[in-house]
Amino acid sequence: MKRNENIAKIKNQSEPWDLAVIGGGASGLGIALDALSRGLSVVLLEKADFAKGTSSRSTKLLHGGVRYLAQGDVFLVLEALKERGLMMKNAPHLSGKQAFIIPIYTRWDQLKYGVGLKVYDLMAGRLRIGRSHIISRKKVVEKIPTIKQEGLLGGVVYYDGQFDDARLAVAVAQTCSDMGGCVVNYTEVTGLSKAADGKINGVEAKDLVEGEAFSIPAKSVVNATGVFSDTILKMDQPGVRKSILPSQGAHLALDLSFLGGKDALMIPETPDGRVLFGIPWFGTLILGTTDTPRSEAEAEPKALEEEIDFILETAADYLVKPPTRADVLSVFAGLRPLAAPKTEGAATKEVSRSHKIVVSDSDLFSILGGKWTTFRQMGEDMVDEILKVKKMSAKGSTSAQIRLHGYPNGHPPEGHWRVYGSEAKAIQALIAEQPELQQPLHPKYPNTKAEVVWMARHEMAQRIEDVLARRLRTLFMDAQAALDMAAPVGKILQQELGRDDAWYDKEMADFQAVARGYLLV
């Protein structure tokens, strides 16, 4: 997947693309993947990096949603459990099974969650990844040694999926490229072009790296920009009603010792009516999340003080050693692109996480809402709608069977090499050719210089943030370590991309400004 080749492909394409997708997050990539599985020609344009926004800031769960089941959203849970199974099957290097423990302090909770999770198991059907069961107080303490024991009666164990969201996005982009699609990052859509009858027939775009502008003809155009959907909708119809209700979810990263084991903690009822997770993730503990309505979409949302306090205080109610602000290695927030309800004032926790497809009078196709777990189904639904509205013919969807880029033959590689899947050997071969590339980027972490070289050459990494936030994930786990790694990463990118010293100086300043927002000071 090489950016310069794909930019050249866009410029040299004379025939209209079957589909132009605006947005390189979960929903846009899912649409591109499904369209390509049907033999359609696809160009995907992302104004920043793949998964730069919400799609890199999730709670890292592939799940049906226990909370959605409690709310009675059975269809969403069924759909998500099916998709969870498919994603774990098609991307074993980027996903896995995680055990969750719900601590039980009343007999009623034992009955309620024990029965509820058996229903959850049954709904997963043949794609079930483990049986839920009740465990004793002693067993809970063995698995989560840091759990508060006063009043503890036992626990309920259940299983869900876990994944690396941003690296999954890169793998889907690479898969689309492998299938003949044209995907590019740092390419902004600046306008929509329309035919004499008012129907959209393409987009105007600008390469933000080289500064070149170009027109891209397309038979259909999809707005898959998440929380920024209204920006594209207003390009089409300036006075259109607001369609997105952003809801912020904040997360804290701490040392895994605060949990004390490999099992995740699930707190099913918090004061704001949500659940709180404590999840092991690449040797770090991720605590979250919140559900805070926000009025505007931001590229770099910041966790609010009350969100940070809420997470720390809720965790303190369940853990022997209460985490403090000084223990937080990184804080990050994402904005959920919830489809705005028809009634004003609905609480964000009550707004459905299912997706919605909207088609404007000019045939701009927009996908609103949704969640990472169902990204592939969202893509299939959107392509079905496009084919129906545009009266286009194509073969049936086969995206459910597509093994994602890096799919390993046999077991995934061990350790930090796992996320590269089958490509780990190629990176290790690079080290064999140039032993100096084996040098670690940081004494605390195993990642090497060779990985940055690989990301620049094969994963479209253009900026320091692309590497440290969305490919190595360090910024989300340990913001200070990411700041320490910025200089060597920047130097490698400068050499690989052929940039000058002024570029390096600006990149360092830009990354430091972003990374400081992930530190609690």
Sign of CA dihedral 341, 344, 348, 350: negative
Residue 331 CA to residue 287 CA, distance in Å, equals: 10
What pLDDT is stored for residue 341 in this prediction? 61
Strands of the sheet containing 187-194, edge to edge, are: 187-194, 200-207, 213-217
> Coil, strand or helix: which one is 443?
coil
What pLDDT is stored for residue 346 in this prediction? 44
Of the candidates 304, 255, 307, the one whose C-alpha atom is nearest the C-alpha of residue 477 is 255
Q: Which residue has the tokens 């700041």?
A: 483
User: 3-state SS of 9-54?
Assistant: HHHHCCCCECEEEECCCHHHHHHHHHHHHCCCCEEEECCCCCCCCH
In contact, 73 and 368? CB cutoff 8 Å: no
Count Cβ atoms below 10 Å from residue 295 Cβ, excluding itself.
Answer: 7
Question: Cis peptide leading into 289, omega within 30 of 0?
Answer: yes
Helices (H), 179-326: 229-236, 305-316
In contact, 364 and 22? CB cutoff 8 Å: no
List the end-to-end C-alpha distance of the chain, in Å, as a whole number.
39
The structure tokens listed for 44 are 């995907």
Q: Give whole-number Cα distances, 25 to 32, 225, 227, 314, 359, in Å.
A: 11, 7, 11, 31, 20
Residue 100 CA to residue 491 CA, distance in Å, equals: 41
254 Cβ contact partners less than 8 Å away, ≥ 6 residues apart: 284, 285, 287, 323, 327, 328, 329
The structure tokens listed for 449 are 């210089």
E strand or H helix at 284? strand 284-288
User: 3-state SS of 318-360?
Assistant: CECCCCCHHHCCEEEEEEEEEECCCCCCCCHHHCCCCEEEEEC
State how far Cα 369 lies from the chain centre: 14
Residues of the chain with pLDDT under 70: 67-70, 72, 341-353
Residue 517 CA to residue 503 CA, distance in Å, equals: 22
- DSSP string of 217-254? EBS-EEE--GGGHHHHHHHH-TTPPP-EEEEEEEEEEE
Residue 201 CA to residue 458 CA, distance in Å, equals: 31
What pLDDT is stored for residue 66 in this prediction? 72
What pLDDT is stored for residue 370 in this prediction? 87
What pLDDT is stored for residue 351 in this prediction? 42
In contact, 500 and 460? CB cutoff 8 Å: no
Residue 312 CA to residue 385 CA, distance in Å, equals: 44
> Coil, strand or helix: which one is 434?
coil
* Domains of the chain, start order: 3-54+166-243+349-401 (3.50.50.60), 95-163+246-339 (3.30.9.10), 423-516 (1.10.8)
In contact, 134 and 155? CB cutoff 8 Å: yes
Residue 353 CA to residue 370 CA, distance in Å, equals: 5
In contact, 81 and 371? CB cutoff 8 Å: no
Amino acid at position 48, single letter? A
